[in-house]
Amino acid sequence: MTELRNVEQELDRFRTRILAAGLAVLVCFGVLISRLVVLQIVKHEELSTQAEKNRIAIVPIVPNRGLIVDRNGIVLADNYSAYTLEITRSQLADDLETVIDQLGEVLEIQQRDRRRFKRLMGDSKSFESIPIRTKLTDEEVARFTAQRYRFPGVEIKARLFRNYPFGDLAGHMLGYIGRISQREKEEMAEWSDEDQANYRGTEVIGKLGIEQSYERELHGATGFEEVETSAGGHPVRRLRSEPATPGNTIRLSIDIKLQALVEELFGKRRGALVAIDPRNGEVLAFVSKPGFDPNLFVGGIDQDSWKELNESLDKPLLNRALRGTYPPGSTYKPFMAMAALITGKRTPGQVIIDNGSFMFGDHRFRSHGDHGLGAVDMAKSIAQSSNVYYYMLASEMGVDMIHDQMAPYGFGGKTGIDLEGEATGDLPSTEWKRRKYKRPEQKRWYAGETISLGIGQGYNNFTMLQLASAQATLVDGGKRYAPRIVHAIENVVTRETRVISSQLIGDLQLKPEHVDVVKRAMYGVTQSGTSTKVFVGAPYMSGGKTGTAQAVTVRQNEKYNAARLAEYQRDHALYTAFAPLDAPRIALAVIVENAGFGAESAAPIARRVLDYVIAGRYPSPEDIALVQKGQGAAPVGPFIAVGDVPLPPARLGGSESEIVESAQPAASGASGASSASAPSAVRRLAPMSAPADEPPQARALQRWWVPRREPAASAPAAAAASTPPSAPGAPKKGPRG
């Protein structure tokens, strides 16, 4: 039977299907068009930027670190370029230890390299490259390049290394640079965006000394390169670049030749010396012995060297000039005398009888081996260093009056020097003791504790920086300047020099007649007092004061006998000095630890420093040898004109084995970018101008003197330890002046 078809119905169904399909196609095209509009119009700028970022990489250009030079333009810190072998752990195709072992078959990798690498791993992310070997030779670079395909994640990089040409000379003052630690990275995260951007790509930062305190000036400004990359991230071509700006040149007030002399005079002994120009606060010498070689830290110090330095009984990590605190001993007496004049407790001509001891209750405070000086006025009390005179004075003044008179000189506080990490020491008072101790019986001040303060013992505890600054303030009539080591900052691009102006932080307005009394009394120390033998034949008039400070307490019924004590328990030797007498240009404080009488060990060092600065005289080699042994008095042998003395030998690229004998440096008018290769000799920039009355400091050099160089010591900021302790309270024997 024939089936009849409904054509109209089928056509309607077909048209419906066509319409639905057409609508579906239109909707799809609408979605595509709308998405295209969003991508091409609405989000065009955003997506274009992302695409550009994928195509273009911004590579930071790390600037050359600025130079550090002394007052005569001698370069104390510069840079040189060298190759390093570096590992990026996240890109390794094999186990780390296996890769290092395989690298050892191509290049020499010592155990200390492995230990340093593991230590650096603790402060780095897995995607950061870490050096396993530094300062590769050209032969080693070629050898690895030939095997490069075997080591994904390992590459050769060219880096700038910091170099300290004179090794351990002035190491504490210069400081050093080191790899940025994780803690420092966290601190940098709090910096402004601009500052963080300026350190992008930078892996090292100043850790101590000038390197730390003037980090922003020395770092410079980071540049950048825009590099077009392929889909695989490989560079194709450089589009544009902004060169990095080298760090500025830091010019110090230090004379490195004088610095080398002082360090040589100390020999193997421990101690510190700070010399300051009273007229403006400029530091002329800043010595802490033993020192350390900053070059050890540039590529990361190895474990053996760190252990040796950190565990040494000599504490080479301690900056004794900045952080070492000591009782000032009899060097405190001129300040006590000035306090007595100001408060009216004494007049210059007032006489007391020094019978060798002072009784306070049932305590006997001794003086100079129990023999007295007889009738003593103020001048004789300083020249002959009478303890009894100052025991009595301290008892009359009381601890709080002494504190109030001494605080304006800077004792017990920071001097304001342009170095970080300065210790404050202790200037005792009743309030100070209440804050310092916890138990009620310890908080109380006992009258007997005041007596020893008069001779610089007891709770008194100061740095050599404080003592030198106070001495400069006293002889300059009360004008107190913040000590500063940096004289000027030189912009390497504009050639402009910004002199760091002297900062007057206090004026005690001392009466000239009072200052003259104390200065003349200190002059007497060099003429008829405790340092007479040392200053015989000096071609200038100077003032000084010897001091002997206890390292441990000696009981009341015992006498001090150095031979029975261990070396670290013996008295410290101190000396303060200034010259010339009427118009001082230098004031200094020096301590030789556990060396005994100040006139025997400390005063001879001070005499040679004054000879250098005031008379332009340099001691003979035999004289230096005597001073090193603690046997120096007046200089012996023919002196040498300062200008005829060669510079200390320089090292190449921080290598201990490569020593360059001093030669006449080539004149260099550029104080600009750091060297791009290892230095071949001592470098010199133009010297800073000096007053006409100062002797010339740099002329033709004759090779006759080589400073002693001990095995390199080094020192990071872990040097927060204090100096050998001194027992507080009343001493039971009177130290010599």
Which residues participate in catalysis according to the annotation?
Answer: 330
DSSP secondary structure letters along 125-141: -TTSEEEEEEEE-HHHH
Q: Tell me how far apart the alpha carbons of residues 265 and 261 are, in angstroms, rounded to a whole number.
A: 6
| Residue 3: how many other CB atoms lie within 10 Å | 4
Instruction: Identify residue 657 by its one-letter amino acid code.
Output: S
End-to-end Cα separation, the chain, in angstroms: 144
Nearest to 217 by CA among 252, 184, 254, 250: 250
Q: Where are the beta strands (DSSP E) in 143-229?
A: 154-163, 177-179, 204-206, 223-229
Q: Tell me how far apart the alpha carbons of residues 292 and 317 are, in angstroms, rounded to a whole number.
A: 7
Q: Are 173 and 33 in contact (CB under 8 A)?
A: no
Q: Are 529 and 545 in contact (CB under 8 A)?
A: no
Nearest to 603 by CA among 370, 336, 273: 273
DSSP-assigned letter for residue 44: H
Q: Tell me how far apart the alpha carbons of residues 516 and 523 are, in angstroms, rounded to a whole number.
A: 10
Q: Are 394 and 295 in contact (CB under 8 A)?
A: no
- The 3-state DSSP class for residue 378 equals helix
457 burial type by CB count under 10 A (0-12 exposed, 13-18 middle, 19+ buried): buried
Residue corresponding to tokens 């402009």: 496
DSSP secondary structure letters along 565-602: S-GGGSPEEEEEEEESSSS-SEEEEEEETT---HHHHT
Nearest to 258 by CA among 584, 563, 593, 610: 610
Nearest to 157 by CA among 64, 85, 60, 233: 85
**Nearest-5° Cα angle at 656, 296 to 251:** 65
Please give the C-alpha separations between residue 275 and each of 470, 523, 602, 655, in angstroms, as whole numbers.
11, 18, 13, 30
| Cα torsion angle, 421, 422, 426, 427, sign | negative
Q: Tell me how far apart the alpha carbons of residues 227 and 209 are, in angstroms, rounded to a whole number.
A: 38
Instruction: Identify residue 662 by its one-letter amino acid code.
Output: S
Q: Tell me how far apart the alpha carbons of residues 648 and 415 are, in angstroms, rounded to a whole number.
A: 30
Preceding omega of 711 cis (within 30 degrees of 0): no
Nearest to 407 by CA among 485, 505, 275: 505
Nearest to 317 by CA among 325, 308, 326: 308
| Residue 670: how many other CB atoms lie within 10 Å | 11
DSSP-assigned letter for residue 564: G
Calculate the CA 520 to chain-centre distance: 35
What phi and psi values does residue 204 have, to the nearest 5 degrees? Answer: -125, 160
Nearest to 270 by CA among 586, 628, 649: 628
Please give the C-alpha separations between residue 523 and each of 379, 410, 580, 608, in angstroms, as whole numbers.
9, 23, 10, 17
Q: Are 405 and 418 in contact (CB under 8 A)?
A: no
